[in-house]
Structure formats: C-alpha cells, structure tokens
C-alpha cells in the first residue's frame, strides 16, 4: 500500500504485554506508558488494571495529553488469578464477574473506548452449560457498561485446547456467541488475533470471514505450536520471526489483506489494530517493539 497505514487503522500496542512486569497492575507503569505515549508511531494503547489510584490518575493525565485512543484489556484479571467467567460454580462465576465490573469502572476512568475479556476453561462434557454461563456473564457486562456510557464490550477469541483452553474458541462458536449476545446488546463485538489463528488451526479467511460482521478490534502477534518442547510454545506472544514460530511478514500480509477485504480496515472509521508482542527470556522490550514496527512497515509496503 502506498497510502499511510494510519489512514486505515489506529496502530496500537498492548502495554502490559510489551512490558510484562506491569501485568499484575503494579511495576513501572507510568514510565512505560510515557515511553509509548511519546512514540508517535502509535495511535492507540491498551492498558490493564492499575491497582494504585494515584498511579492511575498519573497515567490518565499522560493519556489525556497524548491524543491516543485508549482500550482496556481485562485478561490479566483472570489469567493471573485463575478466575473463570463461565465457571459452573456460581460463586466462582460471580467472583470472576466482580473483578470485570471493577475493570469496567477503571476502563471508563481511563477514557477507554473498549473493554476486552476472554472466556474461561471448560469441560467438554459440560460445554453447553459453560456456554450458557458465559452468555449470562456477558449480558451482565454489557448491561453494566451500557449504563455508564458507550464503551464496547469485546470478547477476544483464544485457543480452546492448547494453552488458554478458552470456551471461545473456533470461529463457528464465536459466531453463535456474537449472534446470541447481539440479540439484546449492541455494545458487544469480537476481537481477532493473528497469533491465535495457528492455535485454533484456522487460516485468516477461516477465522475472519464467518464473523466479519462482529469484529470490532484486532491484534497482531506470533506463536509457537510445532512442538510442546520448543521455547515459547503456546500462547506466549513472542516477537515476529521467533525460532520455530508461525507468523512473520507473509502471515501478517495475509491477515491484513483479509481485514482489508471485509472493510474492517477503512478510512472513515479506522479501527484499533494492536501489537501483542512480549519479550522472551532476557529480550529487551524496546527491541521487541521495534521488531514489530519493522514487520508491520514491511507487510504494509507489500500489501
């Protein structure tokens, strides 16, 4: 593409993945948010919980001055605590829901336009019961968010049998889920992630085309699935071109091509498309971020 990538998308980055020491809501949050906010390559930033109210206020000031679009990823609230939004134990489900409700409040405080979450683990013989629990929780999230404003509630599609083992899941089930929720709530959408496509054994077209009407957010990343013994196996989001990994320039080109084909990437209302990359071992966060920018620049040039 000869035209600027920023014409068709808001290029974002997931702060808590790029700087994983902040993932539990603590650590050098202000310093690293400021580092991203001063990099004009990025139009958007995705944050997660920030436990200290004073830190949250300081981050909000940076964001208000930055002219960046803000989104909120609640996934660490569950992935670091073991909570499950489709828990068949009602007390467990309510506890998982409670922390996401807190996250919605925090997301509104930070000025976020979207609130992302994921479904939890499930047992195959109780899959339908887990699905119904997920519907109940999602409807509660959508209703709560709608009372407070216009922020989107966004479900990120994960793997169902390799790493996170989330209920949602393949594109077919994601479609059913979105259609069921949107019968009652128009503030809901789905998120696709390039790094999860090999994990669910779907091509870009297989993962995206069935749910094209419901996609509101996208991630760009990488994974390793060839062998469980390999470094960064599973949903570890290593840098592009990581040894034995699945995604690099060519795969990103195809992903962007399909997103362009369905009109998701567009000039009138450019969506957030964020890097989800994480340093592996002793890799430097800033070098991994630079890697991602170079890969996207190359993919866009060849699109």
**pLDDT on residue 169:** 84
The answer to whether 166 and 159 are in contact (CB under 8 A) is yes
What is the per-residue pLDDT across 238-255, written as a single tens digit (0 to 9) for each? 999 999 999 999 999 999
Residue 24 CB neighbours (<10 A): 15
Q: Which two tokens stand for residue 1?
A: 């593409």
- pTM of the full predicted structure? 0.95
Q: Which residues are registered as beta bridge partners of 150?
A: none
What is the per-residue pLDDT across 190-232, written as a single tens digit (0 to 9) for each? 999 999 999 999 999 999 999 999 999 999 999 999 999 999 9
What letter would DSSP give residue 101?
A: H
**pLDDT on residue 270:** 98
CA distance 222 to 238: 6
CA distance 74 to 115: 7
**pLDDT on residue 187:** 98
Q: Which residues are registered as beta bridge partners of 191?
A: 156, 217
Q: Which residues are registered as beta bridge partners of 46?
A: 14, 71
pLDDT-based confidence at residue 1 (cuts at 50, 70, 90): confident
What is the per-residue pLDDT across 148-181, written as a single tens digit (0 to 9) for each? 999 999 999 999 999 999 999 899 999 999 999 9
Domains and CATH numbers, the chain: 5-302 (3.20.20.150)
What is the per-residue pLDDT across 17-30, written as a single tens digit (0 to 9) for each? 999 999 999 999 99
Cis-peptide into 169, omega within 30 deg = yes
83 CB-near residues (< 8 Å, 6+ apart): 77, 92, 95, 96, 99, 120
What is the per-residue pLDDT across 94-110, written as a single tens digit (0 to 9) for each? 999 999 999 999 999 99
């Amino acid at each position: 593409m000869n035209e600027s990538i920023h014409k068709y998308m808001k290029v974002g980055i997931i702060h808590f993945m790029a700087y994983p020491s902040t993932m539990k809501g603590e650590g050098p949050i202000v310093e690293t948010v400021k580092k991203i906010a001063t990099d004009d390559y990025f139009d958007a930033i995705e944050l997660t919980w920030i436990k200290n109210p004073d830190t949250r206020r300081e981050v909000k000031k940076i964001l208000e001055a930055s002219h960046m679009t803000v989104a909120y990823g609640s996934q660490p609230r569950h992935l670091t605590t073991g909570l499950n939004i489709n828990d068949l134990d009602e007390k467990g489900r309510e506890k998982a829901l409670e922390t996401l409700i807190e996250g919605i409040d925090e997301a509104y405080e930070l000025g976020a336009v979207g609130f992302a979450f994921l479904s939890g683990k499930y047992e195959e013989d109780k899959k339908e019961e887990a699905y119904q629990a997920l519907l109940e929780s999602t409807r509660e999230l959508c209703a709560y968010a709608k009372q407070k404003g216009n922020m989107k509630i966004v479900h990120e599609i994960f793997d169902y049998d390799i790493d996170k083992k989330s209920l949602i899941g393949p594109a077919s089930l994601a479609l059913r889920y979105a259609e069921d929720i949107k019968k009652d709530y128009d503030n809901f959408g789905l998120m696709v992630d390039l790094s999860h496509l090999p994990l669910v054994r779907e091509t870009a077209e297989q993962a995206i085309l069935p749910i094209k009407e419901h996609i509101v957010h996208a991630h760009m990343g990488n994974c390793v699935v060839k062998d469980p013994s390999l470094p960064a196996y599973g949903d570890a989001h290593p840098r592009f071109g990581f040894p034995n990994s699945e995604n690099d320039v060519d795969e990103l080109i195809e992903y962007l091509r399909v997103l362009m084909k369905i009109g998701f990437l567009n000039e009138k209302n450019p969506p957030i498309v964020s890097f989800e990359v994480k340093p592996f071992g002793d890799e430097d966060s800033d070098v991994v971020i630079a890697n991602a920018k170079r890969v996207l620049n190359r993919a866009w040039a060849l699109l």
